[in-house]
Chains A and B, each alone.
Chain A
Amino acid sequence: MLILHCPNCGVDADETELAPGGEAHLTREGPGSSDEEFEQYLFLRENPRGVHFERWRHAMGCGKWFHAARCTTTMEVFGTYPAQTSEPPQEIRDRISDRRPGWRWRELS
């Protein structure tokens, strides 16, 4: 079972306590954006086979959102980090580089 550490309340929560929130770090388009931009925001997804960044909510715990870095083929969790950021912290990216040299996710690597 998937276990993620909630950076908000410090609990190691298992999957049944958590609600998945989909891909992380999307640019939220607003009025005036083009159809293409809205398509990117609403529908198009990285869906990688490997390193992925995603949003989770500690629904049955503190109720707050956070981010997780995870491998979609092995379920290895590289770390979790707070929701208030637009990209993963360097420390997590370094940890991924140790474990998965040459990884790539959007423009990050």
Chain B
Amino acid sequence: MQRYSVFALARQAFRNHEGWERAWRSPEPKRRYDTIIVGAGGHGLATAYWLGRNFGITNVAVIEKGWLGGGNTGRNTTIIRSNYLQDASAGIYEKSRSLYETMSQDLNYNVMYSPRGVMMLAQTEHEVRGYRRTAHANALQGVETQFVGPERVKELCPIINIEGPRYPVLGALWQPRAGTARHDAVAWGYARACSDMGMDIIQKCEVTGVRSEGGKVTGVSTTKGEIDCDRLGIVVAGNSGVLADMAGFRLPIESVALQALVSEPIKPCMDVVVMANTVHGYMSQSDKGEMVIGGGADGYNNYTQRGSFHHIEETVRALVETFPMISRLKMLRQWGGIVDMTGDRSPIISKTPLEGCYINAGWGTGGFKAIPGSGWAMAELMAKGHSPLADDFSLDRFREGRFIDESVAAGVAH
């Protein structure tokens, strides 16, 4: 693999940048692999990457229906944080956040991780109590967060109106080491590293069926032919139910559309991420200067990747009260992604009723932040049969009543 560095850049500058090689190969599928991962988004590629890095399993194919990172990996608002209430969540999200810190060095690919800090506003008395509790829980879990008062909020983000008539800012849960990263680069960096380890990333190849024999997975049928495997990882947020149906089991998941939008680019005015969960809106400023805004999810099953217009209206209406200066901004683009919602709003990283078939799904509205940690846990689960980070997120928790109830702690903005 061609390493990226300042010297490589200088060398190429003298050669009109004609000597760069492709970041990853695009091979035709082989007849058989030890392990197949369905879904070349962040989570799927991270799973493949850690299978190779931590367990030396490199006879792996990552199969993708569309293009690499074209699903929710390229549609999110790039927020990375780990201020969760429950121990299981704090474990996996904090692992993930810490892996983001060194990701650019690990992958030799600049993912532009920016630990600019995430502030979750408390705009009702209930939220103040809830976030104080989360801050205490985080202290016990070893996650650095603190509850700050309104003056500090104003200091960290001067464009906030803390005396809004309807939703005054009463304080915030502040995680200084949280932040954002370049979402496409995360997928591209993992793809490059996986390809370098000899794994095949096969794009424009849709899985049309899962084959099994005597309750054990034997391979998949695809639009590029039959491919055999011993182990199958399903990592297809949004379409998890469709793949589960092919594999012959049901999931506690519903697919709904979640939307985001960006404004026209403006001068730097905000160097933190602000989430306002009472009003369902979150905002940060990208390096290009666009205000990146995320909103609420639709309430009904939907695979259209569009979302309902009135959710945008609600989100922007609420944010204008908290950030009066955005009232004159024009919005440039809006898009939607299909997210998996589970019964307890926590993810599933689990074995399935089909032997040799594993699933990583249900990240709801907040999967991007979990990419490296989720891949780490999923790889360990697939290689060793269990993983300390993943065990609490098993599929049978719904039957056994062991919920990881974050919906109260994190609201919908997740």
Task: Find chain A residues with CB under 8 A from B31 CB.
Answer: none
Task: Find chain B residues with CB under 8 A from A19 CB.
Answer: 299
Residue from A22, A39, A47 within 8 A of B399 (CB atoms): A39
CB neighbors of A among B312-358 (8 A): 342-343
Task: Find chain A residues with CB under 8 A from B255 CB.
Answer: 47, 49, 72
Task: Find chain B residues with CB under 8 A from A16 CB.
Answer: 310
B310 & A47 in contact (Cβ 8 Å cutoff): no
Nearest CB of A to B248, in Å: 13
Nearest CB of A to B48, in Å: 25
CB neighbors of A among B245-295 (8 A): 250-255
B304 & A73 in contact (Cβ 8 Å cutoff): yes
Rounded to whole angstroms, the CA-CA distance of A23 and B251 in the bound complex is 13
Also in contact, A47 and B253, with CB within 8 A (given A54-B301, A72-B301, A75-B302) = yes
Rounded to whole angstroms, the CA-CA distance of A46 and B244 in the bound complex is 10
Nearest CB of A to B380, in Å: 26
Also in contact, A36 and B399, with CB within 8 A (given A43-B343, A44-B251, A73-B304) = yes
Also in contact, A45 and B299, with CB within 8 A (given A39-B399, A73-B304) = no
A43 & B302 in contact (Cβ 8 Å cutoff): no
Rounded to whole angstroms, the CA-CA distance of A54 and B310 in the bound complex is 21
Task: Find chain B residues with CB under 8 A from A36 CB.
Answer: 399
Task: Find chain B residues with CB under 8 A from A52 CB.
Answer: 301
- Interface size range on B against A: 20 to 34
Any chain B CB within 8 A of the CB of A20?
yes
Also in contact, A35 and B301, with CB within 8 A (given A43-B343, A44-B252) = no
Any chain B CB within 8 A of the CB of A108?
no
Also in contact, A35 and B399, with CB within 8 A (given A15-B310, A45-B252, A47-B254) = yes
A48 & B310 in contact (Cβ 8 Å cutoff): no
A1 & B308 in contact (Cβ 8 Å cutoff): yes
Rounded to whole angstroms, the CA-CA distance of A11 and B242 in the bound complex is 34
Rounded to whole angstroms, the CA-CA distance of A52 and B253 in the bound complex is 14
Rounded to whole angstroms, the CA-CA distance of A52 and B365 in the bound complex is 22
Also in contact, A72 and B250, with CB within 8 A (given A47-B241, A48-B241, A49-B239) = no
Q: Which residue of A lies closest to B305 (CB)?
A: A73
Nearest CB of A to B65, in Å: 12
CB neighbors of B among A27-78 (8 A): 35-36, 38-39, 42-49, 52, 54, 72-75
B303 & A43 in contact (Cβ 8 Å cutoff): no
Nearest CB of A to B339, in Å: 12
Rounded to whole angstroms, the CA-CA distance of A97 and B253 in the bound complex is 26
A45 & B250 in contact (Cβ 8 Å cutoff): yes
Task: Find chain B residues with CB under 8 A from A72 CB.
Answer: 255, 301-304
Task: Find chain B residues with CB under 8 A from A75 CB.
Answer: 302, 304
B309 & A43 in contact (Cβ 8 Å cutoff): no
Residue from B242, B298, B309 within 8 A of A49 (CB atoms): B242
Any chain A CB within 8 A of the CB of B300?
yes
Also in contact, A43 and B398, with CB within 8 A (given A2-B308, A22-B254, A73-B304) = yes
Task: Find chain A residues with CB under 8 A from B301 CB.
Answer: 23, 47-48, 52, 54, 72
Any chain A CB within 8 A of the CB of B400?
yes
The interface centre, meaning the residue of A1, A39, A73 with most chain B CB atoms within 10 A of its CB, is A39
Q: Which residue of A lies closest to B301 (CB)?
A: A72
B400 & A35 in contact (Cβ 8 Å cutoff): yes
Nearest CB of B to A83, in Å: 16
B300 & A39 in contact (Cβ 8 Å cutoff): no
A42 & B343 in contact (Cβ 8 Å cutoff): yes
Rounded to whole angstroms, the CA-CA distance of A46 and B241 in the bound complex is 8
Q: Which residue of A lies closest to B310 (CB)?
A: A16
Residue from A38, A44, A46, A54 within 8 A of B300 (CB atoms): A54
Nearest CB of A to B369, in Å: 24
Task: Find chain A residues with CB under 8 A from B300 CB.
Answer: 2, 20, 22, 54
Point out residues on A near B: beta carbons under 8 Å.
1-2, 15-16, 19-20, 22-23, 35-36, 38-39, 42-49, 52, 54, 72-75
New contact pairs (15) apart from A15-B310, A42-B398, CB-CB < 8 Å: A15-B308, A19-B299, A23-B301, A43-B342, A43-B343, A44-B251, A46-B241, A48-B301, A49-B239, A49-B241, A49-B242, A49-B255, A72-B255, A72-B301, A75-B302
Question: Can you list 21 pairs linking A and B with CB atoms under 8 Å apart?
Answer: A1-B309, A1-B310, A2-B300, A2-B308, A19-B299, A22-B254, A23-B254, A39-B399, A42-B398, A43-B252, A43-B342, A44-B250, A44-B252, A46-B250, A47-B241, A49-B303, A54-B300, A72-B255, A72-B303, A73-B304, A75-B302
Which 4 residue pairs spanning A and B have beta carbons closest together?
A43-B252, A47-B241, A20-B300, A20-B299
Point out residues on B near A: beta carbons under 8 Å.
239, 241-242, 250-255, 298-304, 308-310, 342-343, 398-400
